[in-house]
Amino acid sequence: MIHYSCDLCKRPLDPENELRYVVKLEVYAAFDPLAVDDTEDDRDALQDLHDVLERVDDAADERIGDEVYQQMRFDLCPECRKKFMKNPLGRKAEKHDFSRN
C-alpha cells in the first residue's frame, strides 16, 4: 500500500478515509515573440513553444534546464488545501493604515 503525507504539514494521509489533494505546478519561461518579418508570417510561435515543452520529457534533450521549464507535484491534506487556495502565492498580508474619518 502506498503511504501519503501532506507536503505542507507532513501529516500522514489516509486515502481510504479522507480526501487527498494534488497540486501540480508548472513553471516555464515566457518567450515573447521577436520582431516579425514578412517571411515568417506562417510560423506559429505558440506551436513552436508547445513543441519545445513537449520535448521536456525527453531526458536526452539537455538544452532545457530548470530556468526554462520546471514541473512539481504536491500532496495536500484538506486543511492545507484550504490554506493554499486562499493564498496560492504565499504572499504576506498587507496591512493598511487607514485614517479614522
Closest among 1, 15, 2 to 78, alpha carbons compared: 15
Band (pLDDT 50/70/90 cuts) for residue 59 is: very low
pLDDT of residue 12: 96
pLDDT of residue 52: 73
Dist CA 77 CA 68 (whole Å) = 30
Does residue 60 or residue 100 have the better pLDDT? Answer: 100
C-alpha cell of residue 26: 508548472
Cβ–Cβ < 8 Å for 53, 69: yes
Residue 31 in this model has a pLDDT that exceeds 70: yes
pTM of the model: 0.60
Closest among 1, 26, 24, 16 to 75, alpha carbons compared: 24
